[in-house]
């Protein structure tokens, strides 16, 4: 798959993964602000939102595979997912950002060194 607008593959991949993770986070956790809504409504709304996540996630993986291997793609996706979730939980859900969350997240980010390091 050629990159749209001739952008570098990493830019396309990360950009699409970032957008897909915004949709994913709202699909998985956005309903928590609406606990009075029936569960089936939350499931159907989440499913509808997740459709758009897949419309971005699949092209991101297609564009990135070859430049990145599958393990690297998954690692990038997880780091983006955690980053988006941190912002979402603070800004949308109003949860506090605790120091131990940041330390744990930094350790996960540090672990990516071992995945991307050529040994």
- 93-112 residue pLDDT tens: 999 999 999 999 899 889 88
**pTM here?**
0.86
Other Cβ atoms closer than 10 A to 79: 18
Give CA separation, 7 vs 57, 62, 63, in Å. Answer: 17, 15, 11
State the Cα torsion 73-79-80-85 to the nearest 10°: 140
Give the 3-state secondary structure of residue 76: helix
For 29-70, how does the pLDDT look when each residue is reduced to its tens digit (9 = 90+)? 999 999 999 999 999 999 999 999 999 999 999 999 999 999
pLDDT of residue 2: 55
For 6-23, how does the pLDDT look when each residue is reduced to its tens digit (9 = 90+)? 899 999 999 999 999 999
């Amino acid at each position: 798959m050629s990159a749209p607008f001739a952008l570098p593959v990493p830019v396309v991949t990360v950009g699409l993964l970032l957008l897909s993770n915004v949709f994913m986070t709202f699909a998985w956790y956005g309903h928590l602000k609406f606990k009075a809504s029936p569960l089936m409504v939350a499931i159907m709304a989440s499913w509808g939102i997740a459709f758009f996540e897949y419309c971005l996630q699949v092209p991101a993986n297609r564009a990135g595979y070859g430049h990145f291997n599958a393990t690297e793609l998954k690692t990038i996706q997880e780091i983006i997912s955690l980053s988006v979730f941190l912002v979402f939980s603070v800004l949308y859900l109003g949860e506090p950002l605790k120091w131990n969350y940041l330390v744990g997240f930094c350790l996960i980010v540090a672990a990516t060194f071992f995945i991307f390091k050529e040994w």
